[in-house]
Amino acid sequence: MKAVNAIKTRRRGAELERALLDEAWNELVEHGYAKLTMEAVASRAGTSRSVLARRWDSRFSLTIAAIRQQLARYPLEVADRGEVRSELLAFLERVSERTAVIAVVFSLLASEYFQDSSSPPRELREVLIDGETNELAAILHRAVGRGEIDSQKLTPSIKTLLSDLFRHHAIMNLSAPSKELRTSWVDEIFLPLVRI
């Protein structure tokens, strides 16, 4: 009877992949990248290592897939609110929701990950956000279109300023910046630099 029930509840396809990535994520959170093994993930998921190996050729690729799945649970899209300040604050709030994921990613920075991948932190970031819309750029584009900010003032370093401030805070504190701090960044630093 148990075997019949097991067959009925067997996960396949996207459902199986989500479950495997959830277990990989749990392993990363609990034990870190240095102790992550394909065997441990398979054991947690109640499957075999070969099931994982068919999908991911290394713990590096499994780790990237697990982190990307977590990031996808916290979309950054901000609807047009007709006003740049509220859109920027909403964007920073959404980024803050990703802080737990970001903390795990930063823990990888000091681990075997970079020995395994032979890549600098910048490349890890690029791999993780590959395919995502640059929501901050979309917000700034809308603000330029509405005449709220000066496109000439949007130099490359200014365009990434809010993201850079957020990333610095998250790395140094392993936590999201407070709502008050995010508001200060927008009102006291960013908007005065770009307003018409």
Question: From first to last of its 196 residues, what are the pLDDT tens digits of the chain?
Answer: 444 444 445 667 888 899 999 999 999 988 888 889 999 999 999 999 999 999 999 988 999 999 999 999 999 999 999 999 999 999 999 999 998 787 777 776 666 666 666 777 778 778 877 877 889 999 999 999 999 999 999 999 999 999 999 989 988 888 899 999 999 999 999 999 999 9
Q: CB count, 10 Å around CB of 110?
A: 11
Residue type, 172: M
- Please name the fold of domain 76-194: Tetracycline Repressor; domain 2 (1.10.357)
The crossing angle, in degrees rounded to 10, of helices 84-97 and 135-145 is 170
The whole-number pLDDT of residue 29 equals: 86
Distance of alpha carbon 160 from alpha carbon 166, whole angstroms: 10
The whole-number pLDDT of residue 171 equals: 81
Do the domains 2-69 and 76-194 sit in the same CATH topology, yes or no? yes
Residue ranges of the alpha helices (H) in 46-190?
49-53, 59-72, 84-97, 99-109, 113-117, 121-129, 135-145, 156-159, 161-173, 179-184
Domain residue spans of the chain: 2-69, 76-194
Give the length of the chain.
196
Task: Give me the phi and psi of 149, to 5 degrees please.
Answer: -135, 160
Distance of alpha carbon 112 from alpha carbon 191, whole angstroms: 40
Four-way CATH pick for 2-69: 3.40.50.2300, 1.20.1440.230, 3.10.310.70, 1.10.357.10: 1.10.357.10
Residue type, 44: R
The whole-number pLDDT of residue 109 equals: 60
